[in-house]
Chains A and B, each alone.
Chain A
Amino acid sequence: MNSKPVSVEAENQGGEGSAQVVGHVLQPGVDISHKVILYLEDISVSFDGFKALNNLNMTIDAGELRCIIGPNGAGKTTMMDVITGKTRPDSGTCFFGQTLDLTRMTEPEIAHAGIGRKFQKPTIFENHTVFENLELAMKTDKRVWASLFAWLDREGRDKIADTLKLIRLDQEADRQAGLLSHGQKQWLEIGMLLMQEPQLLLLDEPVAGMTDDETERTAELFKSLAGKHSLVVVEHDMAFIEQLGGKVTVLHEGSVLAEGSLAKVQADQRVIEVYLGR
């Protein structure tokens, strides 16, 4: 078992009231001295009495590539909502590294601390060009004043060009993002995530709607990111998960049902019953 996170209150983390710290270039940085980047402990979330998460416990190691599977309604998306500050848990703690209490930070603060998220339904800026989408996501000073006078420099342009190549959208740079195919939108959102240079990437069903070829390339990309980044991938596509090759966690009715290698999980009788067997 990993050591419990030390609940040191980093300064400027007073929840709502500390909105002004958002966007600082100098960030405290996530403390991964215990080799763990994310702790979820006894998290419960209920919607009108229905428990979407029920005493969920999970830890993600720094540099790990973790896959999350589970039937629809298991609470996978809700878990990501909790980590990114969109939903406040009714109980439980959620720490980013040793020091950052995510349940007390706002969405932009969490993003700035180094957590990036891809939504289940691709959400990009449809009226902006592909290039602008990446530009807005790029890691930089994101306070109002900086944005008023921001001007894209050489280095920024190069970074965007590199990402455009990586996500194979360099031909579409000046196209309106809303006109892209579904798979391309997924890639663009992944590209935006990379531009943020997060430590932890949360990817909710990233290959839904992609062709086999696109799926394979996505797997390659994610594997190349692991190590330097930590990734949490929610997927239903078993072939894709096998390709990724990381540890697998099975969620069911808001808590962890099984955890381990894909082979081990697939052999688990309870997992077969609630998920794989159907």
Chain B
Amino acid sequence: MRTPFTLRFLAAMPRSGWIAMGLFAAITLVLMPALHLFVPESHPLHVSNYVITLGGKIMCYAIVAVAMDLVWGYGGILSLGHGVFFALGGYAFGMYLMREIGTDGSYQSHLPDFMVFLDWKELPWYWAGSDSFLLTLLLVLAVPSLVAYVFGYFAFRSRIKGVYFAIITQALTFAAMLLFFRNETGFGGNNGFTDFKRILGYDITSPEMRATLFALSALVLMLTLLVGRYLVISKFGRILAAIRDAESRVMFIGYNPLHYKLLIWTVSAMLCGIAGALYVPQVGIINPGEMSPANSIEIAIWVAVGGRGTLIGPVIGAGLVNAFKSYFTVAFPEYWLFFLGALFVGVTLWLPEGVVGLWKRIKARGKA
């Protein structure tokens, strides 16, 4: 007898998980946007621009963290280059945002400002179609996953693993950063894209737009968690974990690890791309700095802090580290990287299973 797919899906999470998800949905899809839009600014319950933007930004990071956990926590593949997929999604959507500026830029040209500045007379061929919203959505999905697929195919086929894999992913994001730094590449050089005006004709700074982007980020985060949950409890997920633990055994019982790694790797990159596309209109800028090696390492730290292999852990990790970061970088901007390094060492030494692991231990002790 075959269980219907929807039933299987419902069984994927315990009841408490669904309740938590429902609460999260109520808060992020209804409550927060309503408090932002309909409560006057003078009122203490008003949710400010700052909060709604920070929240949306952190949820984008959380999507990246979950995507990272799928490959690292469940697949045992440590990537230190996930920032590149995030940035590619961001750039893909950024191109559309640049085109939406129209002739409202400083040079009043139909070309993006940086192209006028470089004295370019027309759009490069790869900007064709960037004014179409639908085509842009397609690019957001296709570009990061295609890059990941090709890169992953060669890396996994050559059976590159562990530290070696981590190092070449660092090289990948570094190389991409250098490429995007060049003005000739056609993506705005080191300034990247900024000064966005509109999405689909609507003002990008309006409260309605902010609330919409915030709610969309929450929605994508929830979908990411659901898809992730299905993946890891399916037979696919058990095989993935088996590859992580004893790859040769998996091969000798007849599975080809290449295809399994490639699928989770590509899905993960695609999720990062979507997160990047949601992130860019909320923060209002994308530049090659997003591809810096340190950025990708930070993603791994969110996951380590929250707890690998738990799905909810990375969300908590991304939230905690970034909430703290937005305070810290204002109070002691020079010391952030040192702090981040110390955090990583500390978590590795004392909290190998992250915050979620700590919580489980406390709960277990409470019962004993």
Contact = CB atoms under 8 A, between A and B. Distances in A.
A219 interface: no
Interface string B241-275: 11001101111111110111001000000000000
Given A147-B239, A151-B3, A125 B255 contact: no
Contacts of A111: 251-254
B236 A147 contact: yes
Interface in B261-296: 263
A123 B241 CA distance: 14
B1 interface: yes
A177 B116 CA distance: 65
Contacts of A143: 259
A123 B249 contact: yes
A132 to B, nearest CB: 6
A199 B248 CA distance: 20
Contacts, number: 95
A128 B242 contact: yes
A255 interface: no
Contact of A123 (B8, B248, B258): B248
Nearest to A138: B253
Given A127-B245, A128-B241, A136-B238, A107 B3 contact: no
Given A147-B234, A148-B234, A148-B236, A107 B245 contact: no
A126 interface: yes
A169 interface: no
B255 A154 contact: no
A165 interface: no
Interface in A180-195: 192
B2 interface: yes
A221 B139 CA distance: 58
B235 interface: yes
A230 interface: no
A69 interface: no
A205 to B, nearest CB: 16
Given A124-B249, A150-B234, A108 B255 contact: yes
Interface residues of A, number: 36
Contacts of B248: 86, 107, 123
Contacts of A89: none
Given A132-B238, A150-B234, A137 B1 contact: no
Interface residues of B, number: 29
Contacts of B249: 119, 123-125
A12 to B, nearest CB: 13
Interface in A132-157: 132, 135-137, 142-144, 147-151, 153-154
A146 B256 CA distance: 13
Greatest chain B CB density within 10 A among A117, A125, A127 is at: A125
Nearest to B235: A150
A275 B236 CA distance: 46
Greatest chain A CB density within 10 A among B235, B239, B242 is at: B235
Nearest to A129: B238
Interface in B187-239: 231, 234-236, 238-239
Contacts of A125: 241-242, 245-246, 249
B97 to A, nearest CB: 35
Contact of B239 (A84, A123, A127, A136): A136
A136 B242 contact: yes
Contacts of A106: 251, 256
Contacts of A23: 254-256
A103 interface: no
B259 to A, nearest CB: 5
Nearest to A22: B256
Greatest chain A CB density within 10 A among B246, B253, B255, B263 is at: B253
A123 B251 contact: no
A116 B249 CA distance: 10
Interface in A5-50: 16, 19, 22-23
Contact of A151 (B8, B246, B251): B8
Nearest to A107: B251
A136 B254 CA distance: 10
A112 interface: yes
A196 interface: yes
A117 B254 CA distance: 11
Interface string B53-89: 0000000000000000000000000000000000000
A144 B251 contact: no
Contact of B256 (A19, A124, A151): A19
6 contacts: A23-B254, A111-B251, A111-B253, A135-B235, A142-B255, A144-B263
Q: Which 3 A-B pairs have the closest CB atoms?
A: A111-B254, A107-B251, A150-B235
Given A125-B245, A127-B245, A136-B239, 20 more contacts: A19-B258, A19-B259, A106-B251, A108-B255, A123-B246, A125-B246, A125-B249, A127-B241, A135-B235, A136-B235, A136-B242, A136-B253, A142-B254, A143-B259, A144-B236, A144-B259, A148-B236, A149-B5, A151-B3, A151-B8
